[in-house]
Amino acid sequence: MSVLDLFDLSGKVALVTGVDRGLGQGMALALAEAGADVAGIGISDGEDTGKRVRQMGRRYFYQRIDLIQASTADLQTAVTTIVTEMGRLDILVNNAGVIRRTPALDFSESDWDDVMQINLKAVFFLSQAAARAMSASGGGKVISIASMLSYQGGITVPSYTASKHGVMGITRALANELAGQNINVNAIAPGYMATDNTAALRADEQRNKAILGRIPAGRWGTPDDLQGVVVFLASAASDYLNGAIIPIDGGWLAR
């Protein structure tokens, strides 16, 4: 076997949340290009991603689920449905997330609850459901999307910061428990990425300049920047990696 064979995902099934656009779509397409069939969860019709996955000759199955509203039973049902439709589940990418920006002294309970529901509670219980399926079939890969705010405090985003610190914590906790079942649990911490979540920052001339001034690479990240690392974490090449949080940040943390 060559080293490149370790990255081959042929015959695998990957579930990606927030598959409709942005980072989620980019990672889903990378996994498909590496050989995986894709199951997606999102809040639109998901058809753009589906069309592109099928053009690569891969299968695609989509469920429209609002993770802010989904119960733990809904998440378990979603995973069970994927296993029934696709035959198995080998890879989970917990990508879907939401951010609310308000000064801490004015932050509302509803904004707190919405962010924690989708960014942390749904991540844990979807990971739990997926790990049950993976354990029954011999193993798998759980990959969550953390953040630079898994390391830092941020400004006007208290619930997002708390949730992304939590993603780091449960990544490590699940890795400890699941490594013995041949399930690798790791996370990617994107830096400042050009997505819908950062549109307001990029439009603010002063904030945009300050952010770029701290990034040694001198640019915002793009969905393409996560494609290589998600294939690595989903593949046999990462079989001895457990509980890691990998920053893809253009050097932001190093600065």
Among the options 60, 160, 192, 240, which is catalytic? Answer: 160
Amino acid at 144: S
Q: CA triplet 141, 147, 150: central angle to 5 degrees?
A: 100
> In the structure, how many helices (H) and strands (E) does the chain have?
9, 7
And the tokens for 21?
């656009």
Distance CA 202, CA 99 (A): 15
Token pair for residue 137?
């079939």
**Dist CA 242 CA 175 (whole Å):** 6
How far apart are the C-alpha atoms of 82 and 79, rounded to whole Å? 5
- Active-site residue 160, yes or no? yes
Both tokens of 12, joined, read 């695998």
Nearest alpha-carbon partner for 38 in 22, 54, 18, 55: 54
Neighbour count for residue 200 (Cβ, 10 Å): 11
* Radius of gyration over every alpha carbon of the chain, rounded to an integer in angstroms: 17
Among the listed residues 167, 186, 159, the one whose alpha carbon sits nearest the alpha carbon of residue 175: 186
CA-to-CA dists, residue 114 to 15, 18, 69, 208, 245, angstroms:
22, 15, 9, 27, 24
Q: Report, as residue numbers or ranges, the catalytic residues.
A: 160
